[in-house]
Amino acid sequence: MGAERTAVIGVGQTKYAAARRDVSIAGLLREAAYRALEMAGRTWSDVDAVIIGKAPDFFEGVMMPEVYLAEALGAVGKPIMRVHTAGSVGGSTACVAASMVQSRVHRCVLTIGWEKQSESNAMWALSLPQPFATSVNAGAGGYFSPIIRRYMMMTGAPELIGCMVAHKDRRQALLNPYAHLHQHDLTFEQVVDSPMLWDPIRYSETCPSSDGACAMVLVDEASGDAHDGPVAWVHGTAMRSESNSYGGRNMVSPAASEQCADDVFAQAGIVDRRAEIDAVEMYVPFSWYEPMWLESLGFAAAGEGWRMVESGATALEGGDLPVNCSGGVLSSNPIGASGMIRFAEAALQVMGAAGDRQVDGARRALGHAYGGGAQYYAMWIVGSGKP
Amino acid sequence: METDPLVPPAALSGEVTLPPALADAEPVQSVCTPIRLSYTYTPGRALSRYLRAMAGKRILGERCPVTGQVFVPPRGVSPLGGTATSESVELPDTGYVESFNITRVPIERRPDLKPPYCSAWIVLDGASVGFLGLVINIAPEEVRIGMRVRAVWKPDDELETSAANILGWEPTGESDEVITDYERIGRADPPPS
């Protein structure tokens, strides 16, 4: 007996914003959860379990928030499970939720990821001093900047590739009513001229700081078959992690990333990754991570990812492998939700429910998330047809 | 198909009514509460050796008995196999810049660091992994991947059992050592027989 076929029948998101002062943390989550339930045509009483994820507790300073949130999420008397894998957590949480259905532990699971950055200080939380090391790191940008510089050195990529990614994602965000940044008049020149924060990362090549939550409803095969509405079928899920420091580590394309990709594509029976995937939602908090992940995920040969960006192959308009039609992390970053948004947007694409950002006829899509020191990975492939 | 993100879901669209007792209360949207975290750090055997050596301007790494990889600062364990490290290896205070970042924004915790400043992954000669350090005594724009560097230590009378004894890393003036083969970065001396 194989794994239970699993379907996504509901997706709910909040309008991402710098600050949602009109709602509490619980109120923010309920907004996403109710939207997902309404799309799924379900109520709380149909939900067997809640799988919840967020980034480190000390961001908002609420320890074990899943305990406080259980009641708001209709989980009183039901199993609730917390997942934590740093920035990749939204993706890992969706993988865990899928496993609950695939293993036939539950038939209907609500999964949700969130962050309320307006009540938090992520830069402070990500720069905690350690007694055995000197404290010179300025948040995530300071950490990833040398890795990007190494990619640029090793591939000889033109200097403005990152700006092309940033401009594309911010343009595509205009098609997504849920995106945080809607910069209608942003020109490529403005991206190029924006100040360097963590050289070679410019201000406009950096993700914003957002409040938001994203939820999905996952059900078993019979419920997916019977569902009167769009369905995305799970074709594969994979997670990998590794130490962020070991001898011989390729920090640009870590082994855990490549192995996670190999696993998820094998599960989905995909051989020609670029040809067989119709849309990608990739975790790109800093623009240069698009070409880097294109290579690491096997969409481009080593050293060639930037050429795909340069040729326009990853744009919704005219590209053969549209990446981040939603605007991506570069346009909305509620950290603990960001991975789940990638997974949910992939599902919306194969449901044909992605509105103005829809890739015509998308049949299979990849959702991707990474976290920590580029050391935690979560990926899923969803399809319009059954696996 | 797509819902309006500015319209609440039906279940939450009902009007909220306050109990009469709260009718005149000032609405509170958020409060700011300072938090702090103090803790006692117990470094363990490997890091204790490293920190004590630091007080004498020596850098002690540890070698994995299986792979021969040398870790600094040592955490007492090889991150790949989980093998305990036990052999101390004294490393020179010279190495090269694996890659770097020029920070142009101030960081709260280090008001003494005036942007722009250069932080870099420094790989010591004989080490298998790099660690973050500050590159000093050179303009940030002139730092290069592969640049050879040496430690700049605090004055002897200010030395503590702390990695902060190394103020930063300055260029040695030797020719660059650009390594693109990751196996070579993870170079491992053969384990002792």
- Model confidence at A334: pLDDT above 90: yes
Interchain pair B101, A135: CB under 8 A: no
Q: Which of B12, B120, B140 sits opposite A31 (nearest CB)?
A: B12
Look at B132 and A133 and tell me if their CB atoms are within 8 Å: yes
Is this prediction's ipTM beyond 0.95?
A: no
- As given in the structure block, the two tokens for residue B53 are 């050596």
Pairing of strands A80-83, A49-54: parallel
Is the Cβ pair B9, A12 closer than 8 Å? yes
Closest CA to B80 of A373, A241, A260, A374: A241
The predicted structure's pLDDT at residue A137:
67
Domain count, chain A: 1
DSSP secondary structure letters along A211-251? EEEEEEEEEEHHHHHH-SS--EEEEEEEEEE--S--TT--S
Tell me, yes or no, whether A58 lies in a domain: yes
Contact B132 A195 (CB under 8 A): no
- The secondary structure of residue A307, as a DSSP letter, is H
Q: What domain range is A87 assigned to? A: 6-122+209-226
For chain A, what is the largest distance between any 2 Cα atoms, rounded to a whole number of angstroms?
58
For residue B101, tell me if it sits in a domain.
yes
Q: Is A62 within a domain?
A: yes
User: Is the CB of A142 less than 8 angstroms away from the CB of B69?
Assistant: no
B187 domain residue, yes or no: no
B146 lies in a domain?
yes
Alpha-carbon torsion (A290, A291, A294, A299), positive or negative: positive
Q: Do the Cβ atoms of B9 and A198 come within 8 Å?
A: no
- Burial (CB < 10 A; 0-12, 13-18, 19+), residue B12, is middle
Query: Are B123 and B59 within 8 A, CB to CB?
Result: no
The CB density around residue B84, as the number of other CB atoms within 10 Å, is 13
The reply to whether A28 falls in a domain is yes
| pLDDT score of B105 | 84
* A302 in B contact zone (CB under 8 Å): no
> Does the pLDDT value for residue A306 go beyond 60?
yes
Give the closest of B5, B101, B185 to A248, CB-based.
Answer: B185
* Assigned domain for B170 exists: yes
Distance from CA of B135 to the nearest CA of A (A): 10
Residue A138, pLDDT > 70, answer no
Reported as a pLDDT band with limits 50, 70 and 90, residue B37 is confident
Among A238, A241, A234, smallest CA distance to A351 is for A234
Looking at residue A63, which CATH number applies to its domain?
A: 3.40.47.10
Lowest mean pLDDT among A232-236, A368-372, B34-38: B34-38
Residue type, position B44, single letter: G
A94 secondary structure, DSSP code: H
Residue A221's nearest CA partner among A108, A121, A72, A344 is: A108
Query: What are the tens digits of pLDDT across the range B70-127?
Result: 999 999 999 888 999 989 999 999 999 999 999 998 777 778 888 999 999 999 999 9
Searching chain B, which residue's CA lies closest to the CA of residue A21?
A: B29
Reading across the β-sheet that carries A6-13, which strands appear in turn?
A80-83, A49-54, A108-116, A211-220, A6-13, A232-241, A376-383, A364-371, A279-281
Q: How many domains does chain B have?
A: 1
Name the minimum distance, in Å, from the CA of A15 to any CA of chain B.
5
Helix, strand, or coil (residue A81): strand
- Please check whether residue B186 lies inside any domain of the structure: no
Enumerate residues 20 to 39 of chain A having a beta carbon within 8 A of any beta carbon in chain B: 21-22, 30-31, 34-35, 37-39
Is residue A356 within 8 Å of residue A172, measured between CB atoms?
no
The answer to whether the CB atoms of B163 and A133 lie below 8 A apart is yes
Q: For residue B144, give its domain range.
A: 44-178
Which amino acid does the sequence have at A305? Answer: G
